[in-house]
Each structure stands twice: as structure tokens, then as C-alpha cells.
Amino acid sequence: MKENKKTAVVTGGSRGIGRAICLELAKQGVNLAINYAGNQKAADETRAACERLGADVLLVRGDVSRFEDCNALFDAAIQRFGRVDILVNNAGITRDNLILRMSEQDFNRVIEVNLKGTWNCLKLASKIMVKQRYGRIINISSVVGVMGNAGQTNYAASKAGVIGLTRSLARELASRGITVNSVAPGYIETDMTAALGDEIREAVKKTIPLQRLGQAEDVAALTAFLAGDGAAYITGQVIHVDGGMYM
């Protein structure tokens, strides 16, 4: 590890928005402890790309809905880097369906990963950052957590919960030099949106004032800013990266 470099824990960092965030932080000289759920190939690709940018990278496989897996992630990060300056809670899943067809299992699983997984990491990061009297926490929510969306009662509830966690924890930790903010992406070009099909994608674009889907790099740029020194007086905020969907 290079001296005087900050360390970030990023969950769900192997691909999509998570990978873009890792790359942007690496560009800014941040070392990375990257959590991934199971796609080893994608995780290795992300690590290699970040290492080419000069970052020291630790990969830790785990399910963020399991507190013990999150504990292992933070223990590994501390053992490798000595501190955790930044936490990006990005890990998330969808199990979409109309409520009449949605199973209890699909509701529970989305809440477990997206909301409980975020809480697990917030609890562990808070303990470290309070001792440091410094920290930057960024929780990835969604425009759906603010606006709602048919067929996503589980996902919308989980992401609305992330916003509640963000604002509450920002109040708890502000006196210790720790900021807590949320980034709420709209429709972003990822594997998930690629699966929507051309007709649905075109319909979605009509709901976006900028008339296009966003890029993962758009979310990454804001996340990296909130993780940096320039955002020291920003906390408890939900900032949208959605092309104007929510105003």
C-alpha cells in the first residue's frame, strides 16, 4: 500500500455502476476493498483495471445481507490498509413483479440485500470512522425510491429505506467529521437496462427530459466527488443522476 492514500470499501463493485465507481476512485488515488457476490471473472477484471490506474486492490467475496460476510469484508480491509476512509454501498438486486404476482421470498430477498445489506455496512463502517473522526459514506439509492414504479414495490421500498438510513445516519455522525449522502440514479446503461428491450428503452427515454439513458460514469463522477475533500460540507443529501426524471 502506498502511504497517505485513502481507502474505500465498495460493495457490488465487480461490474456496472460499481465497477465505474471503483475505476473513478482509483483514478483519484484511492485504494480499494471491493466486495462482490459471485462473479469472479468480472471481479478480477475490475481489479486489474483499477490496478492499472495505480490502486492497491483487495477483492472480498460475500453476501452483504449476511452480517458476518460484511464483518469479514471490513476486517480484511483494515488488515490490508489500516483504515477505511470511504464507504460506497452499491450492492443491490431486483426481483421485479406486480404485487399480485410477487412472492414473499422475492420481497424479502430484495429488502435483505438492498436495505439490510446497506445497514450492515453502515454499522461496521461507523465504528471505524468514529474512531478516525473522519469518513465519507455514499449510499446508492434510486429515482424509484423517490418516485415509485409499478412492478417494483420491493425495490422501491428498499431504496426509499436507503434514503431514510442516509438522512438519519448523517445526523448521528456529523459531529465526528463523517458525511453521509445518497446518490439516486435514474435509468443507467447497464446489463440490467440492456435486458429491457428496444421498445421499453425508447418508452423510458420519453420520460427523461435529457431524452437518453445515463452512463455508469455519470454516477461514478458524483460518487467520487462526494467521497472527496470538496464535499466536506455536504451531508444528509439525496442527489439525483437521472437526466431530469425527478424534479
Judge whether 155 counts as a catalytic residue.
Answer: yes
**Which 3 state secondary structure label does DSSP give 99?**
coil
Residues 88-92 have a mean pLDDT of 97
Strand partners, 132: none
Mean pLDDT across the chain, nearest whole number?
Answer: 96
pLDDT of residue 3: 57
Residues 136-146 have a mean pLDDT of 98
Integer Cα distance of 191 and 183 in angstroms: 19
Q: Is 90 in contact with 140 (CB distance < 8 Å)?
A: yes
**Which pTM does this prediction carry?**
0.96
Confidence of residue 2 (pLDDT cuts 50, 70, 90): very low
Q: Is 181 in contact with 137 (CB distance < 8 Å)?
A: yes
Residue boundaries of the structural domains of the chain:
7-189+216-238
Catalytic residue among 36, 155, 233, 246, which?
Answer: 155
CA dihedral 6, 171, 12, 204 (to 10 degrees): -120
Q: In the CATH hierarchy, which top-level class contains the domain 7-189+216-238?
A: alpha beta
**Which 3 state secondary structure label does DSSP give 165?**
helix
For the segment 188-247, what is each residue's pLDDT rounded down to a tens digit? 998 777 777 788 888 989 999 999 999 999 999 999 999 999 999 999 999 999 999 999
Could you tell me how far CA 1 lies from the centroid of its own chain?
A: 24
Residues 24-39 have a mean pLDDT of 97
pLDDT of residue 1: 42
Q: Give the orientation angle of helix 16-27 with respect to helix 216-226, to 10 degrees.
A: 50
Q: Is 237 in contact with 215 (CB distance < 8 Å)?
A: no
